[in-house]
Structure 1
Amino acid sequence: MTDYTTLIDAETWAFIERTNSFYPPDTVDYGIDRQRAIYDRMCREFHAGYPDGIAVETTAIGTATHRIPIRIYRPGGNEPAALVLYFHGGGFVVGGLESHDDVCAELCRRTGCMVVSVDYRLVPEHVHPAAFDDAMTAFRWAADTQSLPIVLAGDSAGGNLAAAVAHSSRGHLRAPVGQVLIYPGLGGDHTKGSYVTHAEAPMLSVRDIEFYRKERFGGEEPAGDASAAPLHDADFSGLPPTAIVTAECDPLSSDGEAYRDAILSAGGKAVWFEEKGLVHGYLRARHTVGRARESFSRIVEATAALAKGEWPY
């Protein structure tokens, strides 16, 4: 049994306790509508507001019969270095444009990039590959209508979608110039690594992951489907330069290491940061926890570097 009393510092424990006061650890046992209501309330409580100097617009893309809401964040001043296509976390069950609104606004301000947040369809109403299809629609929209280089980014479930788009857009004329994956779930081996040592981690347990996975597929996960689990791809060549940032106290941490190794083995560029003593969902702690603040700065720096075509690693 992992001793979290020594791994996790007092600031992070305070964040965990505050989160649990809004979003109890047994929330996955509630109905979907109630889960969403609880999650949305929690996100409102943690919303840090907008930084100065950005413009925000909410619109929709897609076809006449299927519209996908997006929110566009534009920095003031100079022309953006790139377009960051951002996919939010939430286990494919919860979240949307509001849940990661302040994160995207700060990412825009601090990187000088245009950020586009994608409100992809959620499960169980829309099982896989609906979210992936929406993510690819958003990528094609960005490639077809925007002239800026494209960087893919996302946290948790959104990190899964960003990576899946990276795998599926290889060879595209406007293929992404980079991807930044924040504590992503990429389909790693549940019998080893962090899935074992951090199976009962605060904020996300293996039991939670199993719930979200069953909801996502409406049953069994399809075998060998890289659009569902990028680590199941047979080919990791041709992927964009990749920065992966994970939390040490998170069952998903090993996915970051495995994904980095797969890309490096295929001759690509990848770097993995495991943030000591942090937990899943720590983006919401970036203003109250020192370790989370430092990690968010690493995320900003990686995004800004990839946006400019740089690789400082």
Structure 2
Amino acid sequence: MVRLTETETIVFDWLNGDIRTLRRDYERVRAKPVPDGAEWLHVGGVGVLRFAADPMWHPLLPLGRSAERSEAMRGSQPLARRFAQPLIRPSATFSPRGEAESRTVGEPSLRTTAIVYFHGGGFIVGSPLTHADIATELVRHTGLPLYSVDYRLAPDHPSPAPAEDGLAVIRHLLGEGFSHILLCGDSAGGAIALSVEATLSDDLRKHVIGVASFYGAHGLLDTNSLIEKGSRVDGTDRACVARYFLAAGGDAYSIEALARPSAVPVYLIAADDDPLRDDTLILAQAMKVHGRAVTLDNVVGENHGFLHHQPHYARAAAALGRFAAWVGALTSK
């Protein structure tokens, strides 16, 4: 239940509610303001909300240390004037054995790289506006432009429709001069980002420098975390999760479909108090079995959706700071 005013509340019936009503109410309650410069575009036949690269970002500022970054931003000169030379970061990823390994992806940089983002919402609700806060913080932490995909929603458009929309956006961005793509998403959007990477042709995959999923949803119904922590009110119990995946045609988002060999490195964020935590932990282990370079950040004391609590929430900011450091290594190769 969400209280809008003293006399008006909205109850989300995630299990039995009409999906179109859920979409309308979710958008009404969850839509976030967007920063100046953000704009709606129609690219490759798909709507996207574009978040411009942060003009105040500079790699000499420590990633993930928001207070210091904010303090520097309050200086009298623009950062681009005060820091003339970029910092070249170490460029290493790590194998499942913890050994450093190299991967040839050309020469990604801030000018040639874009984030393609997929919002959460159980595959059935949500939009770039409901997750604009996370998108804004990703841009602030990484310095990269971000394209948030207004992908088609289930059950009207089950898999592979969202991945097809993502593919259309990737093709458009490559045609516009970007040569390196970072796929990213949260919850259901994390599963979609991974499914996009899994379905790419070799010719397109060489342009993807990484894929990230934040507390992803992969349809596991018998995990300890779901049984112990699932909440009907939050729409994260076994019955609700089953509904989402039935609507989405969820096989494409399963562990079996996504844990496959690929040279593209993976970054996973799990929330330790999340009913869907074990989806991410099991995915990470399965990917490592297949030789994937996987970085796993299990954030203790947090629940599903905790990245919405930024920018004033220290754990969320720290988690995105660690992610941004990983991105920094990729974009400095």
| Structure 1 length-normalised TM | 0.77
The answer as to 2:278 corresponding to 1:254 is yes
Do the aligned partners of 2:194 and 2:258 also contact (CA within 8 Å) in 1? no
Q: What is residue 178 of structure 1 aligned with on the other side?
A: 210
- With a CA cutoff of 8 Å and minimum separation of 6, indicate the structure with the bigger relative contact order: 2
Contact map agreement 1:164 1:230 (CA 8 A) in 2:
no
Alignment match of 2:261 (pick from 237, 260, 263): 237
Residue identity opposite 1:233 in structure 2 = A
Q: 1:74 to 1:294 in 2, by over 3 A?
A: same
Gaps of 5+ in 2: 57-79, 81-109
Query: Aligned in 2, Cα 1:55/1:121: closer, same or farther, shift over 3 Å?
Result: same
Structure 1 runs not aligned, ≥5 long: 1-15
Q: Please name the residue that 1:30 is paired with.
A: 17
- The residue type paired with residue 215 of structure 1 is A
Bigger mean CA deviation after superposition, 196-205 or 149-158 = 196-205
C-alpha separation in 2, matches of 1:81 and 1:25: 41
Say whether 1:208 aligns with 2:240: yes
What is the deviation of 1:202? 6.8
Partner of 2:164: 133
Alignment of 1:147-226 (within 5 A): 147-169=178-200, 171-173=202-204, 174-188=206-220, 190-200=221-231, 203=234, 204-217=236-249, 225=251
Name the counterpart of 2:68.
none
What is aligned with 1:3? Answer: none
Distance (Å, rounded) in 2 between the aligned partners of 1:22 and 1:122:
25
CA distance in 2, matches of 1:22, 1:137: 38
Offset from partner CA, 1:42-95 (integer Å, 9 cap, x none): 223xx3653xxx732311123xxxx31012222227753621110111111111
- TM-superposition CA deviations, 1:119-138 (whole Å, max 9, x none): 01012222222222212222
The number of residues matched between the two structures is 275
- The equivalent residue for 1:4 is none
Per-residue Cα deviation, 1:261-303 (whole angstroms, up to 9, x for no partner): 2222222210111111211121221235433333233333333
- CA shift at 1:201, angstroms? 7.8
Letter in 2 for 1:236: R
Partners of 2:229 and 2:147 in 1: how far apart?
A: 33
**Contact 2:122/2:187 (CA < 8 Å) preserved in 1?**
yes
CA RMSD of aligned residues (A): 2.8
Q: From 324, 328, 333, give the equivalent of 1:300.
A: 324
AA aligned to 2:52 is R
Aligned-partner residue type, residue 208 of structure 1: C
Q: Could you tell me which amino acid in structure 2 is paired with residue 38 of structure 1?
A: D
The 5-angstrom pairing of residues 40-189 of structure 1 reads: 40-44=27-31, 47=32, 50=35, 55-62=37-44, 67-75=45-53, 76=55, 80=111, 82-169=113-200, 171-173=202-204, 174-188=206-220
